[in-house]
Amino acid sequence: MTLPALALLLFAVFSSAAGQLLLKHGMRVAASTAERRGGSIAVHAMTTPWVLFGLTVFAVSAVAWMTTLAQVPLSIAYPFNALGYLLIVLVSATVLHERTTLWTWSGSVMVVLGLITVMAGQQA
> What are 9-44's pLDDT values in tens digits?
999 999 999 999 999 999 999 999 999 999 999 999
pLDDT score for 123: 63
Q: What is the DSSP string of the chain?
A: --HHHHHHHHHHHHHHHHHHHHHHHHHHHHHHHHHHH-S-HHHHHHT-HHHHHHHHHHHHHHHHHHHHHHHS-HHHHGGGHHHHHHHHHHHHHHTS-----HHHHHHHHHHHHHHHHHHHHHH-
> What are 93-124's pLDDT values in tens digits?
999 899 999 999 998 888 888 888 877 877 65
What is the share, in percent, of the chain residues with pLDDT greater than 70? 98
Mean pLDDT across the chain, nearest whole number? 91
Q: Determine the structural domain holding residue 108 and report its residue range.
A: 3-123
Q: How many domains does the chain have?
A: 1
Give this prediction's pTM.
0.84
